[in-house]
Every structure is written in C-alpha cells, then in structure tokens.
Amino acid sequence: MLQTLVELQRDIYLALAGQIKLLSAQGNWLGFLAFLPMGVFFGAVHALTPGHSKAVLATYLAGSEAKIARGLLTSLTLSFTHVTIAVLIAVLSLPVVSIALGSVGRAPLLEDISRGLLGLIGAWMLWRALTHGHHHKHEGEAVGVMAGLIPCPLTLFVMTFAIARGVPAAGILFAGTMMIGVALTLSGVAILSILLRERLLHFVEGRPRLSNVMIRSVEGFAGAALIALALHEAFVR
C-alpha cells in the first residue's frame, strides 16, 4: 500500500515538473491551470503517507470533547499551517531559513518547536483529566497550528522547483490545491476519531458517573500519548 502511494506521488510529481518546465519555457498558463486539479489528488495521497501529524490529530480529538464541526476546523487549521509554512519558507527566504532548515525538506527548528508545544498540550490535557478542569473552546485550533508548524516537505520541493524555473506563482497555485487534498485526508481522520470516541461513550450513556470516568480516562490517555509522541519524536530521529 505504501509503495503504491509513493509511486503515485512520484508519477504526479514528474508530471508536475513537466508542466512547470513547459510553463517556464512557453508561458502556457492555460495548460498549467488545466493540470491544477491534480494537486488535490496529489495532496490527498501525500497526506496518507507517514507523517502530517495524523497521529497527533487523532489522539487529540479522541481525548477531547470536540464535535465534528470543531474537529474539522482543527484539521483545516492543521492543513493550512502545514502547507503555508512550507510556502513561506520557500518564498520569503528569511534569514532564519539557514538555521531552521537542515536536510532538504526538513525544518528541524520548527519541528522541535512543534513537538515542544504539543508536549505542553498533552501535559495540559493530562492535568485537566486529573483535576476535572475546563476545556478551552479554541484549544483545537491551537493544536492545529502547533502540529502544522512542521512544514510539508513535498510543498517545499514543489516551491523550490517552481522558483528555480522562474515561476513561483505556479508553485503557490499548486500548493493551494495540494492543501485542499491534505485537508480532505486529515478531515477524514478527524471525523473517524470523533465517531470512534462517540461510539465508545455511547456504551456508558445513561450512567453519568461511569461516563465521567470514561471521558476523563480517555482524555488522560490522549494527553499522555501526546507527551509520549513529542518525546519520541524529539529523541528518536
């Protein structure tokens, strides 16, 4: 399955590279715009491969009280941040890039910041579960931004190639369609996580005390899992 996804990405990327070369040489924007919808499929397939904070998203939503609308907002925030950070790094070429970027397609500084913040969110969820604290209505969006700080490596590749060919606008347009595809996949993850949590809680419906224990247990487990994920990513690379 993973190999199939990798091959699909390679084929689409090669086709995109050909389109960008043609655009650069001939200025045929109509041909490139006709190819743009492929970016949605490209983004959706790419988001199915390892990474993209799917585990973080699923873990957080499984332990939160978010409904589907809030879960979708969290996934959209994550997708927007994930792709936009990569575009900004490529387009702005800020001085911080020399510090933030390591190997091609990686941004170690931003990755470390993201992991640290997600670890703090996990600690907050664990503390809240133990002390019966209150949920903040904007917490989901904050998680989306934190998880999305790790830039999309494929977007960096696309942007770098387009800029090198003198057509950065083409890279930005394709990144925008990729973002839609990434959002579709992550939204699917969000919906499944919430439905699974709701299904689990359905079994204890009508028993308030047991339901409360179940909710706190799931939230505490999710918080501990986020801390574990952050530590694992920080020390095992």
As given in the structure block, the two tokens for residue 14 are 């090669």
User: Given this model, what pLDDT does residue 99 score?
Assistant: 43
Segment 4-33 shows an average pLDDT of 87
Segment 182-205 shows an average pLDDT of 86
Q: Which of 22-26, 82-86, 88-92, 107-111 has the lowest mean pLDDT?
A: 107-111
User: Given this model, what pLDDT does residue 113 score?
Assistant: 66
- pTM to 2 decimal places: 0.76
Q: With 0-12 CB in 10 A as exposed, 13-18 as middle and 19+ as buried, what is 49?
A: middle
As given in the structure block, the two tokens for residue 162 are 């387009």
Segment 11-32 shows an average pLDDT of 89
pLDDT value at 195 more than 80: yes
Segment 42-63 shows an average pLDDT of 82
Non-local (6+) Cβ contacts of 61 within 8 A are: 71, 74, 140, 190, 193, 194, 197
DSSP string of 190-214?
HHHHHHHHHHHHHTTTT-HHHHHHH
pLDDT value at 198 more than 90: no
Name the DSSP letter for residue 50. Answer: S
Confidence of residue 225 (pLDDT cuts 50, 70, 90): confident
As given in the structure block, the two tokens for residue 107 are 């941004």
User: Given this model, what pLDDT does residue 106 score?
Assistant: 52
Of 185 and 152, the one with more pLDDT: 185
Segment 93-121 shows an average pLDDT of 57
